[in-house]
């Protein structure tokens, strides 16, 4: 009888530890679901919806399209102050924005876009304005097809250039109801891999050297930064067009300057 009385507390302690462990695991699982972008099937359904993955897929092509246009035209979707030029291996002339310019001879060019990063973020945002809203609407429709009752609230979005990627932060909210249960999800992030940050940063180095020294030693810089291929084209009116290609991806940044001209 004494042995049984000694064992009972041990079994009781083991049961308590098991119950506590189950509760801890449940709390952790609930936290992971709430903090992730995955919306689990509710009301017994096995279906799942990942809003960020859907939006990534919907917007990636348009983001890359914007980056290509902006890169070819010196940071602008529709250049205002530009040099129109046709390269030998290209079919049509393109408008290449002046990012550093002076009409005077013998003096350094003046930086025309000192806030180049901000400008490119705004250009991408303007290009995507309707697409982001359309993709969010498509997401809502897709969730409805999965059996959710959807209340969607779209507000706006921001674009951020970050090293090796572009982030699109969408200020929006989804309220999903299914089988009497409701899930609320808000603020979505789309990430598209890109080297536009690195290309823009390199363009700024070139501009700064042209302003300070009236020249840029692109041969030496290609040796120091082998991931970049730089082409320097002198035009008939003494403008210079720089083309920076990133060797790891098919992305480029091209812009024009005019300064330190000796007639």
CA-to-CA distance for 106 and 214, rounded, in angstroms? 9
Closest residue by Cα to residue 257 from 111, 115, 119, 85:
111
Please, which residues have CB within 8 angstroms of residue 125's CB and are 6 or more apart in sequence?
157, 158, 159
Do the domain assignments include residue 20? no
Do the domain assignments include residue 80? yes
CA-to-CA distance for 1 and 16, rounded, in angstroms? 24
pLDDT of residue 150: 94
pLDDT of residue 90: 87
**In the chain, how many domains are there?**
1
- Give residue 232's domain range: 51-258
DSSP the chain: -HHHHHHHHHHHHHHHHHHHHHHHHHHHHHHHHHHSS-B---TT----B-HHHHHHHHHHHHHHHHHHHHHHTTS-SS-SSEEEE--TTSSS-EEEEEEEE-SSSSS--EES-TTHHHHHHHHHHHHHHHHHHHHHHHHHHHHHHTT-EEEEEEEEEEEEEETTEEEEEEEEEEEEEETTEEEEEEEEEEEEE-SHHHHHHHHHHHHHHHHHHS---HHHHHHH-TTEEEEEEE-TTS-EEEEEEETTTTEEEEEEEE-S---
pTM: 0.80
Do the domain assignments include residue 220? yes
**Which tokens is 175 given?**
């309220």
- Report the b/e string of 133-147 with b at 16+ CB within 10 A: bebbeebbeebeeee
Do the domain assignments include residue 241? yes
Do the domain assignments include residue 87? yes
Do the domain assignments include residue 117? yes
CA-to-CA distance for 54 and 35, rounded, in angstroms? 17
pLDDT of residue 21: 54
Do the domain assignments include residue 27? no
Specify which residues 97 forms β-bridges with: 82
pLDDT of residue 64: 98
pLDDT of residue 49: 56
- Tens digits of pLDDT across the chain (263 residues): 444 444 445 444 545 555 555 455 444 444 444 444 555 444 333 334 588 899 999 999 999 999 999 999 999 999 999 999 999 888 899 999 999 999 999 999 999 999 999 999 999 999 999 999 999 999 999 999 989 999 999 999 999 999 999 999 999 999 999 988 999 999 999 999 999 999 999 999 999 999 999 999 999 999 999 999 999 999 999 999 999 999 999 999 999 999 999 98
Question: Is 178:199 a contact under the CB 8 Å cutoff?
Answer: no
- Report the b/e string of 186-217 with b at 16+ CB within 10 A: eebebbbebbbbbbbebbbebbeebbeeeebe
Do the domain assignments include residue 96? yes
């Amino acid at each position: 009888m004494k042995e049984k009385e000694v064992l009972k507390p041990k079994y009781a302690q083991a049961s308590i530890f098991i119950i506590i462990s189950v509760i801890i695991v449940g709390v952790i699982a609930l936290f992971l679901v709430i903090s992730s972008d995955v919306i689990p099937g509710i009301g017994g359904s096995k279906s799942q919806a990942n809003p960020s993955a859907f939006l990534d897929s919907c917007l990636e092509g348009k983001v890359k399209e914007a980056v290509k246009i902006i890169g070819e035209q010196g940071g602008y979707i529709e250049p205002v102050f530009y040099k129109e030029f046709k390269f030998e291996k290209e079919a049509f002339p393109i408008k290449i924005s002046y990012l550093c310019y002076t009409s005077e001879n013998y003096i350094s060019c003046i930086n025309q876009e000192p806030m180049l990063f901000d400008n490119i973020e705004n250009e991408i945002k303007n290009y995507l304005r309707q697409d982001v809203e359309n993709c969010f609407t498509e997401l809502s429709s897709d969730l409805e097809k999965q059996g959710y009752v959807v209340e969607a609230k779209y507000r706006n979005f921001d674009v951020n250039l970050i090293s090796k990627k572009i982030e699109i932060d969408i200020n929006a909210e989804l309220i999903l109801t299914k089988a009497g249960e409701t899930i609320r999800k808000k603020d979505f992030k789309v990430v598209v891999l890109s080297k536009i940050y690195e290309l823009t940063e390199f363009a700024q180095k070139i501009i700064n050297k042209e302003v300070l020294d009236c020249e840029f030693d692109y041969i030496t810089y290609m040796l120091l930064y082998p991931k970049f291929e730089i082409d320097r084209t002198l035009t008939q009116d003494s403008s210079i067009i720089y083309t920076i290609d990133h060797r790891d991806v098919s992305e480029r940044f091209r812009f024009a300057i005019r300064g330190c001209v000796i007639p």
